[in-house]
Structure 1
Amino acid sequence: MFYNERIRSSSMFSKERIRSSSMFSEERIRSSSMFYNERMRSSSMFYNERIGSSSMFYNERIGSSSMFSDERIRSSSMFYNERIGSSSMFSDERIGSSSMFSDERIRSSSMFSDEPVQRSQDGGRPHGGETAMISRRLLRLLPAACPAPSPGSGSRRTSGSSRGSMNVFDREMKRRQRRWAGSLQDTHLFDYLRDEVGGRVADRVYDVARTFPLALDLGGGKSHIAEHLSKEVVERLFLTDVSEKTLRRRTDIPTHCVLADEEFLPFPENTFDLVVSSLSLHWINDLPAALRQIHQVLKPDGVFIGAMVGGETLYELRCSLQLAETEREGGFSPHVSPYTAVTDLGNLLGQAGFNMLTVDIDDVQVHYPGLTEVMTDLQGMGESNCAWNRKSLLHRDSMLAAAAIYKEMYGNEDGSVPATFDILYMIGWKPHESQAKPAKRGSATSSFRNLSEIKPPSP
């Protein structure tokens, strides 16, 4: 009985154990399945949530980037248009003020007649008038390019005329440019500006009521000044230039041609009664030293009358090239040479020893079909850039962009573009005891405060 009872209890315990194990196993499997499903569901929700947030962040980022890019392009376009507009307004305002100043100065001057300016049929210079305008219409091909060596091919040394002054211009390059310009068969087509300025310098020589036995023309080249003078004013003339091909006599005055550099004059002191120069001194490296040499070769009471390019000459060309190169290449280099300011010219003449100074400025505008013709004529004149820091190559894209900017900002209604030349005229005398001298300071016997008490002289 005990054995049977034990077996029965063991069997019941075994069945109960198996049942509880089965229930535990099923419960464990069910809980594991629920946990696995819950984990997969949460993982899927997290993955979907992550993808959704990433997609939203990516779309939001692209949208903000697109908005920033559009805003940046819009602001850049507004800045570029605003810049061109302000430049155009500045240019128009500047040309207007320059024209008003030039017209007012010419009207008040006694050196110009009341006849209007008109260009003669044979290509001569305009005579007199109230405006300083020259019409230049070019409908021809470009001449052969001038062989220009690399700016770094030569050595940039200090000027020998003044110790320690750094050279700005490559004088050897300028000599080659003038030699090339003088060898052109149609070189007379490019002399319109030199003829005009030479005639105005000659007008100032005629204003001096005396005869000059011996005169010197610095950088005279083709006698652009002497052809407007007569033997009654200048008896003998020395003509100098750096290029032998440009030394040509076109005057009845007895002329001696001398191949010499304007920076080193091969003449003794107190030699000439008159020194003239037209469109040559703006290429001098040491202008103060050159003016001192001119002062030395003059006789006492001698006069120096000169003209040079200065101020804001060719500002239309300079601005167009700078804007085009900045847009196309991300920066710009100087393609127009630096010039002397009119405010500095009087001080330079005074430091050289001249007195009774006269300095004035003319704005001469020449109209061209386009930018290419402007640069072609500058080459034909021998007035191309020869600064040491010049860039030897101008890319085609920059050239085309500069031509478009030139016409857009400065173009005329007839399709032409202007090129402005600021011509600085200077007159200085070498001191002499016969010249009128200013009164000493403090020597006045009357004061402006007592002007009302001064009685007019009786008739």
Structure 2
Amino acid sequence: MSRNPRAPTSRGVNHDIFDRTARRHRRDRAVPGYRAHDFLRAAMLDGIADRLAIVTRGFDAILDLGCFDSGFAAPPDARVVRCDAGLGFARAAGGVQADEDRLPFADGAFDLVVSAGVLDQVNDLPGALALARRALKPDGLFLAAFVGAGSLPRLRAALREAEPEPPTARIHPQIDVRSAGDLLVRAGFALPVADVETLDVGYSDLGRLLGDLRGMAATNLLRNRAPLSATTLAAAAAAFAAQADRDGRIRERFDIVFLTGWAPDPSQPKPAKRGSAGASLAAALGKRE
């Protein structure tokens, strides 16, 4: 399922997709045991580090947007500001608490913004990307990663089988790579690139998967969510187990969308035509001196 950019809000009307209060509480709940469930974000940080390694210039002022309990491994001489929507993670990382679409930072405060594992839970994603771009100095770099469309197909199938009527939203709407690239353009980034990497993880049962999602603060945050009944949960567990391979493992899939963009600057090459956000990553990163 693709998630469309949020429509403009009307004064006095709450158009939030996600429950902001629940999100903060879920993140605080995840703090003590997060390190046992951080494999997905670790893969995102590795991908961000690979992309950053192509860039030959240094960065002195860095914003780590969605830092969890430790955050992006910045160069030792860089000034790093950590930011997280959860107070517990913000405190653990020595950072500040703020939602990604309500940032408190001044325009042009950073020359690098990184974000791993949070943008798929932001109510106003176009606004969050625009704020990240505004927080960058001219020719500053934005690198992000989040769970995108195509993820969790086994869980989706199990929930559909366990609860066919009436349909209930149990998993967040997800953004496909093409829409993600368009959002970079809409936010005003130059040289935008959006690409996908897939991570397959084996599970013995549904409980293990749900435990990981809970441990990484990635359970259902929709404002209109409804609890799973014991009967539905048992049926979903059986449907999930029925998808096991010969070795008894259920291979669940996570599609990680990576975003790369630059704050506009006159020194940059002319931007590509609209709709070409999937252009060469090396072309976008490698020539930035």
Question: Would the aligned equivalents of 1:199 and 1:225 in 2 still touch at CA under 8 Å?
Answer: no
Which of 59, 81, 88 is the matching residue for 1:245? 88
Residue of 390, 411, 427 corresponding to 2:260? 427
2:247 and 2:271 mapped to 1: Cα distance? 53
Return closer, same or farther for 1:332/1:438 CA change in 2, 3 Å cut-off.
closer
Query: Which AA in structure 1 matches 2:75?
Result: S
What CA distance in whole angstroms lies between the structure 2 residues aligned with 1:369 and 1:211? 44
Larger radius of gyration: 1
2:19 is aligned to 170
SS at structure 1 position matched to 2:60: strand
Match of 2:224 among 371, 389, 402: 389
1:270 is displaced (CA, Å) by 1.0
Structure holding more helix per residue: 1
**Number of the residue aligned with 2:49:** 202
Tell me if the contact between 1:199 and 1:224 (Cα under 8 Å) persists in the aligned partners: no
Distance change >3 Å, CA 439–CA 311, structure 1 → 2 = closer
Counterpart mapping for 1:82-101 below 5 A: none
How far, CA to CA, are the matches of 2:156 and 2:122 in structure 1? 21
The reply on whether 1:404 has 2:250 as its aligned counterpart is: no
Once the two structures are superposed, residues 143-199 of structure 1 have per-residue CA deviations (whole angstroms, 9 ceiling, x without a partner) of xxxxxxxxxxxxxxxx9x9533721110110110000111x3x43211122122112
What is the alpha-carbon root mean square deviation over aligned residues?
A: 2.1
Deviation, 1:378, is: 0.6
Question: Does the CA contact (< 8 Å) of 1:195 and 1:225 recur in 2?
Answer: no
More strand by share: 2
CA distance in 1, matches of 2:222, 2:272: 44
Counterpart CA distance in 2 for 1:419 and 1:240 is: 30
Change (3 A) 1:389 1:219: same
2:61 pairs, out of 199, 214, 220, with: 214
The alpha-carbon deviation at position 244 of structure 1 amounts to 2.4
User: For the Cα contact (< 8 Å) 1:354–1:429, is it kept in 2?
Assistant: yes
Written as runs of structure 1 = structure 2, the 5 A alignment for 1:101-140 is: none
TM-score, with structure 2 as normaliser = 0.86
Q: Is the 8 A contact 1:299 1:430 kept in 2?
A: yes
CA distance in 2, matches of 1:211, 1:248: 27
2-structure distance, mates of 1:413, 1:292 = 47
Partner of 2:75: 230
Contact 1:307 / 1:423 at 8 angstroms: preserved in 2? Answer: yes
What is the CA–CA distance in structure 2 between the aligned matches of 1:388 and 1:247, rounded to whole Å?
23
Aligned AA (1:290): A
Once the two structures are superposed, what CA deviation does each residue of 1:352-387 show, in whole Å capped at 9, x if it has no partner?
111111110011111111111111111111111101
1-structure distance, mates of 2:127, 2:225: 24
Unaligned runs of 5+ in 1: 1-158, 251-255, 441-459
1:321 CA displacement: 0.6
Partner Cα distance (1:187, 1:292) in 2: 29
CA distance in structure 2 between the aligned counterparts of 1:413 and 1:243, rounded to whole angstroms: 41
Q: 1:318 aligns with which of 134, 151, 156?
A: 156
Are the counterparts in 2 of residues 364 and 422 from structure 1 also a CA contact under 8 Å?
yes
**Which one of the candidate residues 132, 145, 152 is aligned to 1:307?**
145
- CA change 1:320–1:439 in 2 (3 A) is closer
Equivalent residue runs for 1:140-159 within 5 Å: none
Code of the residue aligned with 1:175 in structure 2: it is R
Compute the TM-score of the two structures, normalised by the length of structure 1. Answer: 0.55
The corresponding residue for 2:282 is none
Shift of 1:438: 5.5
Q: Amino acid of the residue matched to residue 349 of structure 1? A: L
SS in 2 for 1:346: helix
2:17 partner amino acid: V
The code of the aligned residue for 1:163 comes to: T
- In the TM superposition, residue 439 of structure 1 has moved relative to its aligned partner by 9.3
SS at the partner of 2:208? helix
Shift of 1:257: 1.4
Q: Does 1:282 align with 2:91?
A: no
The 2-side partners of 1:375 and 1:207 are apart by 36
SS of 2:83's equivalent?
strand
> Between the two proteins, what is the percent identity of the paired residues?
37
Q: 5+ unaligned residues in a row in structure 2: which ranges?
A: 1-5, 274-289
Question: Partners in 2 of 1:280 and 1:378 — Cα distance?
Answer: 13
Kindly tell me the number of residue pairs found equivalent between the two proteins: 265
In structure 2, the residue corresponding to 1:205 is in which secondary structure? helix
